[in-house]
Amino acid sequence: QVQLVESGGGLVQAGGSLRLSCAPSGRTLRSYAMGWFRQAPGKEREFVATISWSGGTIFYADSVKGRFTISRDNAKNTVYLQMNSLKPEDTAVYFCAADYPAVVASTSIDEYDYWGQGTQVTVSS
C-alpha cells in the first residue's frame, strides 16, 4: 500500500503562483507514473497533468497547458506541480495519484492505483 501526501495548497490571488508537492509515505516512487487531478465543488474529478517515471513523457490538460508544470525529483522521491498565472477557475481540491507499474503516463483517472487525500487550492478574483 502506498500512501501519498500532498502539500503546498492555499489561498492565492488571481495571477499568483503555488507549488504543490507529493511524496509517498515509506515507499519509493520507482517505476510509478505520477499524476495530478483536481475536483471542484459539484464537479467530477478531472485530469491536470501526468509524468512518467523517467520524466520523459509529460501530458497536460488543455486548461492548464502553458501555466502549470509537472516535475519529479526521484532522488527526493517527490513530485511537484508548479502552478502559475492562477485563475479563479483553478479553485479545487488537488489530488496526487500514482500508477504502478506504469510503462507510460496516463491521462485516465482509472489507471491510477493510489491517491492522496488532496490539498485545497483557492484562487480569489
pLDDT at 101: 83
pLDDT at 27: 78
pLDDT at 23: 92
Contacts 24+ apart (CB under 8 A), 76-80: 76/23, 77/23, 77/24, 77/28, 77/29, 78/21, 78/22, 78/23, 79/21, 79/22, 79/23, 79/29, 79/34, 79/36, 79/51, 80/19, 80/20, 80/21, 80/22
Positive or negative torsion for Cα 41, 45, 49, 54: positive
CB-CB contact of 4 with 114 (8 Å)? yes
* pLDDT over threshold 90, residue 104: no
Taking residues 84-99, report their average pLDDT: 97
pLDDT at 31: 84
Using a pLDDT cut of 70, give the percent of the chain over it: 100
Q: How far apart are CA 22 and CA 79, in angstroms?
A: 5
**Higher pLDDT among residues 9 and 28, named by residue:** 9
pLDDT at 50: 98
pLDDT at 100: 87
**Average pLDDT over all residues of the chain:** 94
pLDDT at 102: 83
